[in-house]
Structure 1
Amino acid sequence: MMSAPVDLRNASNSAGNALSHEQGSSSTAVPPMPDYSGRILAYTVTAVIIVIGVLQSAFEQWLLWLVAGALLWPHIAHILTRRTFLNRSPRIRQKMLLVDCVFGGTFIGFTGLVAVPAVSVALMMMFSCLIVGGIRQWLMGTTLMASAIAAGVAFAGPAESFQSPLLTSISAVLATGIYICVTAFYSHQQARALMLAKTQIQNQREQSIALSHKLSKYLSPQVWQSIFTGERDVRLETQRKKLAVFFSDIKGFTELSEEMEPEALTELLNHYFNGMSEVALRYGGTIDKFVGDSIMVFFGDPTSRGQKEDAFACVSMAIEMRKHMKIMRQKWRSQGIKTPLQIRMGISTGYTTVGNFGAENRMDYTIIGKEVNLASRLESLAEPGEILVSYETFSLIKDRIMCRDKGEITVKGFTKPVPIYEVVDFRRDMGPNRSFLEHEHSGFAMYLDSDKITEKERKAILEALEDAADRLRSEEELPDSGKLG
């Protein structure tokens, strides 16, 4: 008189579908006992109780008619819930179980509240309600069952004796025990299957995360984040935005490539790209691509802090790259690379077309437009260690960064000559209070950024400088004949 108490099919089937490609036939999931089978089992054991009770005169003879109803109802319920409009009803299982509670309560009432059979049927009902719908379903089912019991007793009257014959009691207890054990077995198997599926899904999720992080190496972090969070669709679409565009390359790289072995050159180039990428990401730049020894970065998409802040972040990044290049050049020199590699940079700000370009099966997230051409042109015109910016960029950063007028240039795509400016340094770092100092001579190189030095490092640096100063003074005092070299 009740449906199967457990149905985790939705969860287990979803897990199975998600893992079917990976797991194939290795899954050990056990399918749940369907409502149809569970209801047949419940009503069959109830029919057995009725027959034995009638044979032992515990119930009235006319209750044998309930046997036919008990055997037919599971099939009727199956047809109603699978082949009619009811199959689209939400929570149909819970609703059908409430109907079963009414039928069960009616049966208990018709038997006149004979103790053991009544308790057995009531236990099957409450067991099913608790597992299928929890406390709320149990309360609703118990209420309906109690109402049906009252109506049944009012119709048939109470039994002459609430005690049932021994065989009737034993059959009721056994029938209820069989139902509970069978459904509990399926519940246990489903719980195991669900835990296995959960573990497999978690493993697959971890594998997917690891794979996504590997794939993220081929995209700028901002673009990867917007795609994997669902903020951006992977389709061919573009938009117009005002961006700050940055180009850089290494002056002297061509000559160096002729002197070094390819493996050593590759290692040097990757070291350079790694250092510059860290600087770009620290300032929020979207790394577009690496071409040879060139880097292309833009600011303002997918996220923007405003035109002025984007331009300032771009130029700040360029200044930081120039400083970082000097540090790397010192390291390369200690590794035996004598060619003085220097970076040159160009920055332009203006409207560009940004988005996915290419084909449906292979696309590239990039930007196009005359401002991109201008930034590339400025980079090619820059001297080693120089940062050239367009007038638009200069107008956005001039209050915080010192720039020097470099005149005008003619660029394809621009009808008028374009004013350009050279970035000197942050205004806060100009004069005696500047945080960055540099001195480079043959046999000596110093790059100092006091803002980044900790107190512990400060003491070690002071000791090193004092030792170097003492060494220079002692060598200066020696006569020429005492010097080596």
Structure 2
Amino acid sequence: MMNAPLKVAKSLTLDSSKPVAVPPMPDYNGRVLAYTATAAIVATCLYQSVVPNYMYWLLAGFVIWPHIIHYLSRRTILRKSPRIRQKMLAMDCAFAGGLIGLLGLVAIPSVAVIITAMFSCLIVGGIRLWLAGTVLMTTTAIISVATLGTADSFQSPLLTSVVSVAAAGVYICVTAYYAHQQARSLMQAKTQIQNQREQSIALSHKLSKYLSPQVWQSIFTGERDVRLETQRKKLSIFFSDIKGFTELSEEMEPEALTELLNHYFNEMSEVALKYGGTIDKFVGDSIMVFFGDPTSRGSREDAFACVSMAVEMRKHMKIMRQKWRSQGIKTPLEIRMGISTGYTTVGNFGAENRMDYTIIGKEVNLASRLESLAEPGEILVSYETFSLIKDKIMCRDKGEITVKGFGRPVPIYEVVDFRRDMGPNRSFMEHEHSGFAMYLDSDKITEKERTCILAALEDAADRLRQEEV
């Protein structure tokens, strides 16, 4: 008469080597068990003459009805009805109320039927279905009692009481067992899902080391498909390499050279990511970065961010040179940089089983050419880049160059500095001579650091004065 616990799935296979079984009791089996228990109660009542003998037809109904309702809910148009399981259980509750009336409100058998119905409602549909089932059962019980009347005695014989309690107990225990097994399996599935999620996160973070963070994020959030496709976009392209690296590689051991290069790439990458650049690749001692894809703040802002990154890289190299000197590296390593802005083809290039997210086009060639023409510590930009940043960054005209792929000579400019940092109000100072190097950015210095720096400068000044005397 009652339904079984909510069926989730027969099995969850989260890992092909570790299937997680979820064995809830099917609706059909649960209903057969409930109606069999109710039939046992009614049969005992008939045997002990608790109810009239003409109610033998109920036993046949209890045997046939589970199969009928299974057919209706699975084989007919009713299977498309929303919440069909709850509706069928509500019908069972209505039948339970009618049965209570037929029993004449005999106490223990009636209570056994009520407990069985209410337990099923709570398991399957929660409080809402329990309330609805209670209303239906009460209504049909009142109608049935009003039509047939009550029994002569509300007390039942001992055998009827024992069978009623046992039948309801068996149904509740079996249903609770399957509910417990289902909850246990779901907890195992949840644990396995959590473990696989943690493994996937760890793996994705490892894979992210081979991709620019912007590209990795766009792939893992579903914003970008991993397939061979490209598009035309206006980008700002940056190239840099280290002047003097070839000579240094001949002087240093490979292990020390590798450590130095990795340190350099790590520091420059932090600067690039700070300004939102997409790191394309490292080739030897060269770095290629572009701005404007996968995300863009507009051509003007992208160009300004690219040049701002280059300026900070140039300043940061002064700090790194001081550190390298303290490690015994005397070769004065400096970077040279080139930047161009224009339309390029960006996207996934390669084969279906091996792709590279990069850019191609004449603007890429121009940026590479500007980098090769730049002097140590110099940043050269194309006219397109200059036109986008000239209101914020001071540049110097460097004439024109001829570049393959361009029909006319290309005007180029040298980046001097931010306009806001020019003049007496600039926030930084830098001096570098043999035996002396200083880089000062007052905007980044705390009060505590300011005191220590002043003491160090005064001590250095006193020592220089003493040696002069």
TM-score above 0.5, yes or no: yes
Choose which of 171, 187, 198 in structure 2 pairs with 1:206: 198
Is the Cα contact below 8 Å between 1:60 and 1:111 reproduced in 2?
no
After superposition, the C-alpha distances for 1:272-319 in whole angstroms (9 at most, x for unaligned) are 000000000001111111111111111111111111111111000000
**Aligned residue for 1:374?**
366
CA distance in 1, matches of 2:329, 2:403: 36
Q: Structure 1 CA distance, aligned partners of 2:353 and 2:304?
A: 36
**1:476 paired residue number:** 468
Decide which of 214, 219, 229 is 1:222's aligned counterpart. 214
Secondary structure in 2 matching 1:290:
strand
CA distance in 2, matches of 1:216, 1:190: 38
C-alpha distance 31-459 of structure 1, shift in aligned 2 (>3 A): same
The equivalent of 1:157 in structure 2 is 149
Quote the residue 2:16 is aligned against. Answer: 21
Structure 2 residue 74 is matched with structure 1 residue 75: no
> Secondary structure at the residue paired with 1:7?
coil
The CA distance in 1 between the partners of 2:286 and 2:7, in whole Å, is 57
Q: Which of 44, 47, 50 in structure 2 is aligned with 1:52?
A: 44
Aligned-partner SS, 2:336: strand
The answer to whether the 8 Å contact 1:30/1:193 transfers is: yes
Q: TM-score, normalised by structure 1?
A: 0.93
Task: Name structure 2 gaps, 5 residues minimum.
Answer: none
Corresponding residue of 2:295:
303
Q: How far, CA to CA, are the matches of 1:307 and 1:323 in structure 2?
A: 25
Find the counterpart in structure 2 of residue 126 from structure 1: 118
TM-aligned CA distance change 1:280 to 1:22, over 3 Å: farther
SS for the counterpart of 1:303 is coil
Provide the C-alpha distance between the structure 1 equivalents of 2:421 and 2:224, rounded to a whole number of angstroms. Answer: 40
Secondary structure, counterpart of 2:358 in structure 1: strand
**Partners of 1:360 and 1:226 in 2: CA distance:** 19
Matches within 5 A, 1:28-427: 29=21, 31-427=23-419
Aligned-residue Cα RMSD (Å) equals 1.6
Amino acid at match of 1:324: H
- The aligned residue for residue 7 of structure 1 is 6
Q: Deviations over 1:316-359 (max 9, x none)?
A: 00000001111111111111112111101011111111111122
Amino acid across the alignment from 1:23: K
2:193 aligned counterpart, secondary structure:
helix
- After TM superposition, where is structure 1 displaced by more than 4 Å over at least 4 residues in a row? none
Alignment partners' CA distance in 2, 1:369 and 1:103? 78
Q: Deviations over 1:340-395 (max 9, x none)?
A: 11101011111111111122221111111111111111111111100000111111
Q: Which residue of 2 aligns with 1:480?
A: none
**Letter of the 1:463 counterpart:** A
How far residue 459 of structure 1 moved from its aligned partner, in angstroms, is: 1.0
Q: Distance in 2 between matches of 1:254 and 1:237?
A: 37
Partner of 1:317, secondary structure, is helix
| Pair 1:301–1:148, CA change in 2 (3 A) | same
Deviation of residue 154 (structure 1)? 4.1
Quote the Cα distance in structure 2 between the aligned partners of 1:396 and 1:115.
90
Q: Could you tell me whether the CA contact under 8 Å between 1:404 and 1:423 is conserved in 2?
A: yes
Q: Percent of counterpart pairs with the same letter?
A: 79
1:284 partner amino acid: G
How far residue 427 of structure 1 moved from its aligned partner, in angstroms, is 0.7
Measure how far apart 1:8 and its partner are: 4.7
Q: Matches of 2:76 and 2:156 in 1, distance apart?
A: 41
Equivalent position SS for 1:49: helix
- Tell me, in whole angstroms, the C-alpha distance in 2 between the residues paired with 1:88 and 1:355: 46
1:483 match: none
- Cα separation, 1, equivalents of 2:203 and 2:449: 39
Whole-angstrom distance in 1 between the partners of 2:423 and 2:286: 32
Give the Cα–Cα distance (whole angstroms) in 1 for the partners of residues 113 and 97 of structure 2.
8
The 3-state SS of whatever aligns with 2:280 is strand
Deviation at 1:251, TM superposition (A): 1.0
CA contact (8 A) 1:246 1:297 kept: yes
Distance 2:142 2:348 in 1: 71
Q: Is the 8 A contact 1:382 1:388 kept in 2?
A: yes
SS in 2 for 1:431: coil
8 Å contact from structure 2 (residues 238, 339) kept in 1: yes
Q: Structure 1's 452 and 8: CA in aligned 2 closer, same or farther, altered over 3 A?
A: farther
Query: How many Å separate the matches in 2 of 1:148 and 1:94?
Result: 18
1:462 match: secondary structure = helix
Deviation per CA, 1:199-258: give whole Å up to 9, x if none: 221121111111111111111111111111111121222221111111111111111112
Distance 1:155 1:122 in 2: 20
Counterpart CA distance in 2 for 1:21 and 1:413 is 55
Tell me if the contact between 1:110 and 1:155 (Cα under 8 Å) persists in the aligned partners.
no
SS in structure 1 at match of 2:16: helix
Shift of 1:155: 4.2
